[in-house]
Structure 1
Amino acid sequence: MTADTKAAGPPVPVPRDPEVTGGMQPLNDDTGLPGQKKKRKKGELLPYLLILPAIVAIAAVYLYPLSKTVIMSFQDMGRRELWTGEPAPWVGLEQFTNILGDPDFWWVTFRTVVFMAICVSLTMGIGLLVALLMRRLTTWVRLALTFALIAAWSMPLMVAASIFRFMADSDYGLINTLIAKVVGEDWLGHNWYLDPIQGFGIITLLVVWGAVPFVVVTLYAALTQVPKELEEAASLDGASGYGVYKYVTWPVIKPVFTMVATLSVIWDFNVFGQIWLLRGNKPEPEYETLGLYSYSKAFESTSFSQGTAIALITVLLLSGVAVYYLRQLMKTGEVE
């Protein structure tokens, strides 16, 4: 310090009078501007306030049925209790032990898992191929294809099931007619549903046909986010078409592909209407998946508690898939 500095004495404090500071409050090292902490708290609460109506609506629609399902699964609800309103007797875990000890339940579960895996694999494979193809089409052709996909996607399930029933009809079906022209007349009058494997083949076509449009549109939207500069640079560096897709395209669309595949697993695991309509509202036991098996136990065998117990087990099986889906959503949000 110089002599002039020592003579100057201690530093003069900064005035805090609003008139001197021009109406501005001094900064605080901990909180910043006055009111910043309050604004931050309001900003943190805003997302929760925005989704609150959706949470209330979902709770109002699903909370009561779910709680009723849980309660009924521990009771022995029959026609008498249902019609008279008498309280059903509590049986504890008896419904679950009976179901888990029934070999038919495990066969139905195995059939459901295999059916779901085939449907999801075909849906995601065809959807990805069509989405990649759309990148190479001209604008007008791509718009026409998109319109056709949306039209197929928006078609009511009952109408689509009627079309597929006609196509697979044993007497007048288009499928039998085309095969008969190629193979021989023996295919005329062939009943596809006598063999459950062939019958599930028709059902799989209906499920995949209705699910592919959503997958194609979603994956194509993800493909539009792939930087073309990176793909061109990889090609110039000598990468093959597969190499460009593997190291440039796939990492970009992988989060979207994973989420769509997870949703497809949930949807195809719960397939009900397609089987119900194609089998004329009376599916044979060989065509029962977990949803139909639960319905059969509840309304055809009048064992409502057993049907709700099967539905609850299905929810528990899908809860793992739902948790995985939520984790993927959270990871995607963190990346973004």
Structure 2
Amino acid sequence: MSTTVSSRRPAIRRRQLLPLWLGLPAIAIVLVTQGYPLVTQFFMSFQKFGLAQQFGQPAEWIALDNYVRVLSDPVFWGVMIRSIVFCAIVATLTMVLGVLAALLMTKIPTPARVLLQVAMLLAWAMPHLSSLTVWQWLFNTRNGVVNTVLVALGFEQFHNYAWLLEPGSFFVIAGAVVIWGSVPLVMFMVYASVTQLDESVMEAAHLDGAGPFRRFFSVTMPMIAPVLFLVGMLQIIWDLRVFTQISVLQDAGGVTSETNVLGTYIYEIGLGQGNYGQGSAVAMIMLVLTLALTAGYVRQLLKNATQA
């Protein structure tokens, strides 16, 4: 009997280690492609780069000077606050619209639901640059569709109105672009969660006299809360690191100094100005902020795995 048990232990151990062995290639790829740039960027944030470094001279080690300059720069704090506010507004609207779209799909007939799913999938799969081309055409100053329609409705102040020159309207367009591309993923994940709910619980709440809103906030929301938390955390992380949408709209006419977020600010001072040290310092600060948010996401994943 003891011989049989001892012979089974290596087989059990091999089965337990199998997921780790299968994941090693992916882990190795991540370490090579992400680890080296991250470590290099970390050391660059403590160095000073100038004209001499373009001719092969080693960068000067200046310890925490880059961080001191960045953290004492009011421009950086303006960009930081702008990024956080933009992220909070866009992520909130994305979650609200995504949840509403998911609930709508549970109420409409199958043909309409399939059509909506296909439309959302196409919106989510479309490359950012392609969608931005359409958005620029819509808000073009001279012959944009939005300006043309508004003028036709009697709003003459929108004749040749430059949407991207004003920071307020710039971020309205940028937020619309980000939300338009992000809502489909939220919708699909929430819809998948809602369709797995126990109908008997909803029927019991209905028999107890709970109306639609009461059933949603008292029954549906608590049951899909883990999914909402995970999707919301991912949305916050993505919106905090947004770059392509802001950069393309800046190139189309936005005022860079008034519309920079963290991603474009790092690009401007790092690659645009050649100040790789300060650019790396800002990038590391952004990484710390992202990791703080990711920590909550990882804790929730581990909690769900433990409960499963």
Fold shared per TM-score above 0.5 = yes
C-alpha RMSD over aligned residues = 1.6
Question: Structure 2: where are the runs of 5+ without partners?
Answer: none
Q: Deviations over 1:258-290 (max 9, x none)?
A: 111111111100111101111226751101011
Q: What fraction of aligned residue pairs are identical, expressed as a percent?
A: 35
Residue 314 (structure 1) aligned with residue 286 (structure 2) = yes
Tell whether 2:293 aligns with 1:299: no
The structure, 1 or 2, with the larger RCO (C-alpha pairs under 8 Å, 6+ apart) is 2
The one-letter amino acid paired with 2:264 is L
Secondary structure, in 3 states, of the residue corresponding to 1:199? Answer: helix
- Is residue 159 from structure 1 mapped to residue 130 from structure 2 by the alignment? yes
Q: CA deviation at 1:104?
A: 0.7
Q: Is the 8 A contact 1:79 1:302 kept in 2?
A: no
Question: Could you tell me which residue of structure 1 aligns to residue 170 of structure 2?
Answer: 199
Query: 2: CA distance between counterparts of 1:154 and 1:109?
Result: 29
1:73–1:95 Cα contact (<8 Å) kept: yes
Matched, 1:86 2:57: yes
| Aligned mates of 1:190, 1:34 — CA distance in 2 | 79
Distance of 1:79 and 1:216 partners within structure 2: 50
Q: Could you list the runs of 4 or more consecutive aligned residues of structure 1 that deviate by over 3 angstroms after TM superposition? A: none
Q: How far off is 1:303 after superposition?
A: 0.8
Equivalent residue letter for 2:105: M
Cα gap change, 1:63 to 1:283, in 2 (>3 Å) = farther
Deviation at 1:156, TM superposition (A): 1.2
**CA distances 1:5-47 after superposition (whole Å, capped 9, x unpaired):** xxxxxxxxxxxxxxxxxxxxx3x5xx98332332332232122
- Please tell me the residue identity of whatever aligns with 1:109: M
For the pair 1:139 / 2:141, whether they are aligned, the reply is: no
Contact 1:162 1:278 in 2 (8 A): no
Letter in 1 for 2:164: Y
Q: CA separation in 2, counterparts of 1:171 and 1:231?
A: 53
Deviates more, 1:64-73 or 1:171-180: 171-180
Task: Tell me if the contact between 1:225 and 1:252 (Cα under 8 Å) persists in the aligned partners.
Answer: no
Tell me, yes or no, if the aligned pair for 1:276 and 1:283 is still in contact at 8 Å: no
Specify the SS of the correspondent of 1:279. Answer: helix
Judge conservation of contact 1:112–1:269 (CA < 8 Å) in 2: yes
Tell me the number of residue pairs that the alignment of Structure 1 and Structure 2 aligns. 307
Which one of 220, 226, 230 corresponds to residue 259 of structure 1?
230
Aligned equivalents of 1:195 and 1:55: distance in 2?
Answer: 45
- Structure 1 length normalisation: TM-score? 0.87
Q: Secondary structure at the match of 1:35?
A: helix
